[in-house]
Amino acid sequence: MTPALILTADPDFVDLAQAECRQARPDAQFLDQLSPGVWTVALPTGFVALAEQWQGQPPIFVRHICPVQTTIPLSETARDVTMLERAVKRDFVELVGPELPFSVQTRIFTAAPYKPFDVNARLSDAIRTITGTPLDVRNPVQVLSVVAAAGTAYLGLSLAAHNLSDWAGGERRFARDEGQISRAEFKLLEALAVFKIELPPRGVALDLGAAPGGWTRVLRQRRQYVTAVDPADLHPSLQADANVRHKRVTAEAYLAEGPDTFDLIVNDMRLDARDSARLMVAYAPYLYPHGIALMTFKLPQEKRQQALDHAFNILRQAYKIAGARQLFHNRSEITVYLKHKT
């Protein structure tokens, strides 16, 4: 059976990702696992129908999809790159919109003597030379996806918006900077990008369970005044910041004090998803009507969908769930974007 698309999810959440796909398209058939979390999918209704359905309501656990329009056999030698270039010239250059920025995104799950960069550079040069289409690897409008695995290359051209992520496989990468406090910063950076959140100028933010302060640091970089709530110490760089107020109490104790009101509340605490949802509902009265909230849900190993549904139902008492995704920088968790319930 010929695959119509390649679907990517975190290996620990493949079952939930497959369930999302089948719920959206009951005729979807999962064929081969190319790598942990990466599957070929047969879909009689085609890639575009599913992609457009998910544009309005993105799935939580499926990170990335891309179409399969051409397959070619691989020899796992340097000659493969030339064969890929020939396939692109034969099957794709006439499909490329000449005025829409493009990128080539390659993933290799085989012991080949070439790297994704080698393929990207060769195919990008071929497309630009023939069509004059501008290359923009950070903000492409159209993407040529190449996935190499098990002696076969799968190629497909699509709008970046149809792929659920602008990054190959949904792997949103950030450069580690000198002042980084923790890798948790990447989770917040990715959430702000994926949910397209613009923070208010000089906003007032609350960071629950802040220590050692990774999320507080990201918020300060975006000129937010931050109340960081945690009994533990913050990083020394934040202790010296006059625009960070450290409340050395638990989130529950600060709630009992009667908090201020905030433009943004964030919560990356290591709580069960349902307990974390209850805490966020308790803080809802202290969020301005225009305010937003971001939180992570830690999911159990068993009955994860039931736990998630329960937590969502708790949140809906006070919030509108504006988005929920299992992001690349999440671990056994998802990130949830909330707005005031109206």
pLDDT tens, per residue, the chain with 342 residues: 789 999 999 999 999 999 999 999 999 999 999 999 999 999 999 999 999 999 989 999 999 999 999 999 999 999 999 999 999 999 999 999 999 999 999 999 999 999 999 999 999 999 999 999 999 999 999 999 999 998 999 999 999 999 999 999 999 988 888 888 999 999 999 999 999 999 999 999 999 999 999 999 999 999 999 999 999 999 999 999 999 999 999 999 999 998 999 999 999 999 999 999 999 999 999 999 999 999 999 998 888 999 999 999 999 999 999 999 999 999 899 999 999 887
8 Å CB contact between 315 and 280: yes
Residue ranges matching CATH 3.40.50.150 in the chain: 184-340
Exposure string over 193-227, b if 16+ CB within 10 A, otherwise e: ebbebebbeebbbbbbbbbbbbbbbbbbebebbbb
Please give the span between the terminal C-alpha atoms of the chain, in angstroms, as a whole number.
Answer: 48
With vertex at residue 279, the alpha carbon angle to CA 278 and CA 285, rounded to the nearest 5 degrees, is 100
User: 136: how many CB neighbours lie within 10 A of its CB?
Assistant: 14
**Catalytic residue at 298?**
yes
Q: In this predicted structure, what is the pLDDT of residue 129?
A: 96
Closest to 199 (Cα-Cα) out of 337, 317, 30: 337
- The one catalytic residue in 115, 247, 298, 341 is 298
8 Å CB contact between 5 and 169: no
8 Å CB contact between 15 and 2: no
Q: Describe the strand order of the beta sheet including 70-73 as a list of residue ranges.
A: 70-73, 152-159, 142-149, 102-109
Helix (H) or strand (E) holding 15: helix 14-24
Amino acid at 185: E
Residue ranges matching CATH 3.30.2130.30 in the chain: 5-170
8 Å CB contact between 156 and 64: no
Q: In this predicted structure, what is the pLDDT of residue 56?
A: 85
Q: How many CA atoms lie within 13 A of 15 on its CB side?
A: 6
| CATH (residue range 5-170) | 3.30.2130.30
The CATH superfamily assigned to 184-340 is Vaccinia Virus protein VP39 (3.40.50.150)
